[in-house]
Every structure is written in structure tokens, then in C-alpha cells.
Amino acid sequence: MEKNMDTVITEYMVSRYHELHKQSKQIEKEMNELKNSFHCYFDQAVGREGRGELEFPRYKLQRQVRKAESYQVQSTIELLEKMNLTDCIEIVRRPHDEKIKSAITLGFLEPTDLEECIIRKITAAIVVKEK
């Protein structure tokens, strides 16, 4: 982002941001309450996992259902090992943060040794508080 020192921040801008932020929280809360009502309706009409649709003159309300499956890690690995299907087990190699910190503490590594390997993420946030 390019720095522009000509930007002026006014109290009105901060106030407006603060008000909009409060409104967004209220809107989000009301939307969640409405969504919960819609889910309750569809749970009763078509079941907890059922897709549904309700039509009005100007709107159509739909509940879409997405399903995802995954394997329980430990029990699946144990079963695959018993069945001699270790090719179906993925081995993930990644740096072990705690052991690296221990190696630095014990003097096996210098903090600068891995400096070029570090990924730093910086996130900026705007917060406005009423006085």
C-alpha cells in the first residue's frame, strides 16, 4: 500500500466507522437469528440433513446441504498398518517449532541460523473505542 501523507482523518470519519461497526454487529446477530429460524423450519419440514426450498412471490429460500467426510487419524492409521497398507499413510515432514526453540536454548542452533527460513506475517487491525 502506498503511503499518502495527504490523507486526513477526521473525528466524523472515526465516529462513522464506529457506528457502522456497531451496526454490522447488530446486523450479523439478527442474520444469525433468522438463519437459525430457517434451519429450524427446514429441520422440521425435511429433516436435519435435508435440502429444502420455500418460495414466496419475490423470494426463494433454499437450504443447501454440503457433506464432507474425513478419516479419524489414529484409528485409520492403526487399521491400515494392521492390514499392511502403509502406502496409504501419508508421512508429513515439517519443522518442529518446539524442538527448534529447544535446540536454540541448548546452543545447538544460533537464532540467526534459520533467519532466512522464517516467514513473518503481519496483520493490521483498526479498533475504535468509545471514551
Sign of CA dihedral 52, 59, 31, 129: positive
Count of other CB atoms within 10 angstroms of residue 42: 21
**Average pLDDT over every residue of 99-126:** 92
With a cut of 60, say whether residue 1 has pLDDT above it: no
pLDDT(25) > 70: yes
pLDDT of residue 127: 84
Residue 131: its pLDDT value, please? Answer: 79
| pLDDT reading at 109 higher than 70 | yes
Of 7, 15, 27, 29, residue with least CA distance to 129: 15
Mean pLDDT of the chain: 92
- Judged by average pLDDT, the poorest of 17-21, 31-35, 94-98, 120-124 is 120-124
Sign of CA dihedral 124, 125, 126, 128: negative
- pLDDT of 36 > 60? The answer is yes
